[in-house]
A and B are shown apart, each in its own frame.
Chain A
Amino acid sequence: MATRSRSLTCTRAWICAETFSMPAFGSKGFTRLIKTLLWPLCLAPLLWLGLGAFELLGFNLGANPVEKLLHELGKWGLKFLLLTLAITPLRYWTGWHWLVTFRRLLGLFAFFYLFLHFLVYIVLDRYLDFSGLLEDIVERPYITLGMTGLLLLLPLALTSTRGWMRRLGRRWKKLHRLVYASAILGVWHFYWQVKLDTLEATVYALILAALLLARIVHSRRKAARIQVRSETLLPEDSGGAPLRR
């Protein structure tokens, strides 16, 4: 009993502390708070699909649950991938550089959902028929594209830790540009498997195109700025320094 009431007061104290001293916008406490809120948000699609898969609390996945699961995981994976790509342009537009703290989380969730997408395909859809799987990967171009897209994400997920970031230095940034290739392959894969109605895939393709364009515009501007600076004879240029995290 004693423990229970103690934990209650602790919780109350914690809540009061949080509400009364709301961390300042962009501060470390602020990003930590957002991150805490982000976790359940990122897991919500999985919870929803899990409830549906086991028909709990009135949720269900309809008449073809395998297809539903496969498609939803593919689309959530792609959404997270696009969100990850949106972080950098958003940072430059808004000046909210703290946004970068969420990039790794979002990227790893993209990988997580796409890996589940792949697992549902080989386990539930193909029923672990590996010969058929190999044939699919080689013979069905849309599967080849998806597989390549996922494989490109694998080294990025593995080197997403701070340790690897330090170890790879500038090469880390270069390596992680693969995320663009992966997103292009993913959208292409989506577009290719549609039977007829390409509207939804087109929306994803346009968003990706806009994000890529924003990136190109930004690096052009940056290059121009660097040039101006070197013309005003600054001794050293710091344009390529790694992002402060």
Chain B
Amino acid sequence: MLIRKAPQIKSSEITSEADYLDRRSFLAKAGLAAAGLAGASPVIAAVASDPGASGRVLENVSESPLSLDEAPNSWRDVTTYNNFYEFGTGKEDPSRYAGSLVTRPWQVKVSGECDQPGDYNLEDILSPHALEERVYRLRCVEAWSMVIPWVGFPLADLLKRFQPNSDARFVRFRTLYDPGQMPGQRRRILDWPYVEGLTIEEAMNPLAFMAVGVYGRELPNQNGAPMRLVVPWKYGFKSIKTINAIHFTRTRPRTSWEASAPREYGFYANVNPNVDHPRWSQASERIIGSGLFAPRRKTEMFNGYAEQVAHLYQGLDLRRNF
């Protein structure tokens, strides 16, 4: 289970982060105990549910101390307001057209700088991991946000199984390319297939998450079934959906949005209220589901996760590396 530490991270920072997490989980446990739930299998009861939800229920999902303590958006918001250009550029297109995607059987190709490359069946990818719920805020680059109760497992736990070597400085992820199943790919608005990437330090951060479900159920196709990334301190487009390839590399991957408009979308894409998109402000965001007459919310640095991730960018000019 040991992973080579990336050279940039100072061990002191790792320690402080671990302390931080311990504190959070301690608080969470204390809270449960105080509510008289400890020991009474509180775990499953705590997972978010919605009367409108559908799809296979995921069993044995535990709570996470990393979850936001906020009411999530409705199932309807989460599953009908999506950016997934593989199924069309309208927000409701994915919920309309993603039915054509077939997610079983599913294989993920693992390659590059690692000791366990290969073509893995989805079942083999998922089986060793205990599922947990992570309630995160998703902040889209279009200046809106939602709170979503994802179900999945830490990305680091998955990546460590492939034993990345010391040359693995970046991880590249790829979405399925199949215009037959993904009608949006028949138009070349992006250079398909969709590609995203993280530094290995970002990928190993405890917040980085591989989601296989939402609201205690299997992911609907429009949300990126069968598995998708969730990187809550970055703009939503970093959280690549419907992943079928993972590649460890020495060089920084060229991501789809960066390739399509390098002036507007960078590799890092960290949520940052102080660095505007060239065409619109990022200082505030509209909260999806808040209705017609609600004010905007002030956007937080790193989407509110600065304490956990700011250390990853020490010394980096975030204005230039947007």
User: Which of A62, A125, A127 is B80 in contact with, Cβ under 8 Å?
Assistant: A62
B291→A62 contact, CB < 8 A: no
Stretch among A16-24, A25-33, A36-44, A189-197 lining the B interface: A189-197
Say whether B260 faces chain A, with CB atoms less than 8 Å apart.
Answer: yes
Stretch among B102-110, B174-182, B278-286 lining the A interface: B278-286
Closest residue to A126 on the B side, CB-wise? B296
Contact with A along B68-82 (1 / 0, CB 8 A): 000001001100110
Question: Do A193 and B289 contact each other (CB < 8 Å), given the known contacts A62-B91, A63-B77?
Answer: no
- Give min CB distance, A192 to chain B, whole Å: 7
Name B's interface SS.
loop
A-B contact count (CB 8 A): 53
B279→A64 contact, CB < 8 A: no
A140→B289 contact, CB < 8 A: no
B91→A66 contact, CB < 8 A: no
Q: Which of B254-280 contact A (CB under 8 A)?
A: 260-261, 279-280
| Contact surface of B with A, Cβ cutoff 8 Å | 73, 76-77, 80-81, 85, 89, 91-92, 142, 144, 187, 189-190, 260-261, 279-281, 286, 288-289, 291-293, 295-296
Task: Supply 28 A–B pairs (Cβ within 8 Å), ascending by A.
Answer: A53-B292, A62-B80, A62-B81, A63-B77, A63-B81, A63-B91, A63-B289, A64-B81, A64-B91, A64-B286, A64-B288, A65-B291, A65-B292, A67-B286, A69-B292, A124-B292, A125-B286, A127-B295, A136-B281, A140-B279, A140-B280, A140-B281, A193-B279, A195-B142, A196-B189, A196-B260, A197-B85, A197-B89
Starting from the known contacts A62-B80, A125-B286, A136-B281, 19 additional A-B residue pairs (CB-CB under 8 Å) come to: A53-B292, A61-B292, A62-B81, A62-B91, A63-B73, A63-B77, A63-B81, A63-B91, A64-B144, A65-B291, A67-B286, A124-B292, A125-B296, A140-B280, A142-B279, A192-B279, A195-B142, A196-B261, A197-B85
